[in-house]
Amino acid sequence: MRQAGRYLPEYREVRSRVTFEELCRSPELCAEVTLQPIDRFGLDAAILFSDILVVFDAIGVPVAFNPAPKVASPVRTASEVDGLRWGRAADHLDYVYQAVRACKRALAGRVPLIGFCGAPMTTASYMIEGGGSREFEHTKAMAFTEPALFGRMLERITTLLVEYLAGQVAAGADALQIFESWGAAFAPDDYRIHVLPHLRRLVDECKPLGVPIILFVRGNASLLAQAAELDADVVGVDWSIGMADAIEVVGPRRVVQGNLDPLTLLGPPELVTAKAEAIVAAGRRARAHIFNLGHGISRHTDPAMVQHLVDVVHGA
Ligand code: CP3
């Protein structure tokens, strides 16, 4: 969950030389920043350095990072959707597969490498809104007024994402994480109608790739229950629900991942210790538990506090 990034001085050093876009397109530099938190903290898995929005490259949608992503020409109408470069789109993402290979070489078996993508709706929302959003009004307007067009767009994105994840696994990714960061944009019933079928297909079509699939759905307990209906190996839990309650929702037979509020790391070490230990204790009621933050790490985090957290979890 954003292991690398602007809170690390060694990442900022790399970023002082190249833009974020250049970094994502440079396999050797991706490997370097992917390994930074592994070398520094002794984490148990690495997550590929990239972004969920690089797939826009494949279909010909320019995106700028400042650092918040911005899509200058949003995609909202039938002609805008149908005019994108959908055919064999994942072939254009070879630089990501090269980055996976570079990471695997650099890791040399030390820890597994997690590849990833955005979930279909989260990915589409950045294209439809033109960037991040609070209300997701264009996305929801499209789903409610032109459900067939919205469905076609998500269907095509899902096909692209399946090919993209298959490419990451072929290049050596040991596990896959799917990020549904904005699921809570939709009311639960609407999510089930307009969004869940595509997410289900993504998970189902990635199962034969033979690597564990982690499905992170940020939002609410109702969405967590829908996520648990799918066939992912691990359900990622955000910090807005207690881990014990989350396990009640997904059931004791699921593997869970999560879920410390990343801003806890801005508090004192005793607080971090107490919160982390409580999450580890709650996680023991699940079939298995992968400790993680409950969302992306803040740029204001002191790396020493991350080290403290890793030590607490390893000692628990
Ligand atoms: O270790 C890692 O950092 C893993 C790589 C990673 C990034 N983004 C790098 C990144 C991963 C897994 C992501 C996923 C991602 N990107 C998600 C899903 C997870 C989540 O956070 O909900 C989403 C929604 C995005 C889209 C995105 N990319 C946003 C909203 C931003 C702006 C973030 C900010 O801090 O303002 C980005 C840019 C981005 N992606 C950065 C990084 C390290 C910051 C860019 C910089 O270096 O300036």
Long-range (24+ apart) CB contacts under 8 A made by 22-29 are 23/49, 24/49, 24/50, 24/51, 24/54, 24/95, 24/96, 24/99, 25/95, 26/95, 26/99, 27/95, 27/98, 27/99, 27/101, 27/102, 28/102
Token couple for 270 = 């005793």
CA distance 133 to 123: 12
Residue 121 has pLDDT above 90, yes or no: yes
User: Mean pLDDT over all residues of the chain?
Assistant: 97
Nearest CA to ligand 1 atom 42: 5
Q: pLDDT tens digits, residue range 179-211? A: 999 999 999 999 999 999 999 999 999 999 999
Residue 3 has pLDDT above 90, yes or no: no
Q: pLDDT tens digits, residue range 219-234? A: 888 999 999 999 999 9
Q: How far is the CA of 47 from the centre of ligand 1 (A)?
A: 12
CA distance 163 to 182: 22
For range 72-93, the mean pLDDT: 95
Q: pLDDT tens digits, residue range 283-292? A: 999 999 999 9
Nearest CA to ligand 1 atom 37: 68
- Ligand 1 site, CB within 6 A: 2-6, 15, 20, 47, 49-53, 65, 67-69, 116, 132, 179, 181, 296
Nearest CA to ligand 1 atom 38: 67
Q: Which residues on neighbouring strands pair with residue 255, listed in sequence order?
A: 234, 288
Handedness of CA 223, 225, 231, 237 (dihedral sign): positive
Look at residue 285 in the predicted model and tell me its pLDDT.
Answer: 97
What domains, with CATH codes, occur in the chain?
10-236 (3.20.20.210)
Out of 18, 30, 34, 51, give the residue to mutate to test ligand 1, the one with the largest number of ligand atoms within 8 Å of its CB: 51
Please identify, by atom number, the ligand 1 atom nearest to the C-alpha of residue 67: 48
The residues annotated as belonging to the active site are: 2, 6, 15, 51, 126
Please identify, by atom number, the ligand 1 atom nearest to the C-alpha of residue 53: 26
Residue 1 has pLDDT above 80, yes or no: no
DSSP code, position 166: H
Look at residue 4 in the predicted model and tell me its pLDDT.
Answer: 87
Q: pLDDT tens digits, residue range 232-254? A: 999 999 999 999 999 999 999 99
Q: pLDDT tens digits, residue range 137-187? A: 999 999 999 999 999 999 999 999 999 999 999 999 999 999 999 999 999
Nearest CA to ligand 1 atom 40: 51
Look at residue 2 in the predicted model and tell me its pLDDT.
Answer: 78
Phi, psi of 200 (to 5 degrees): -60, -45
Q: pLDDT tens digits, residue range 31-47? A: 999 999 999 999 999 99
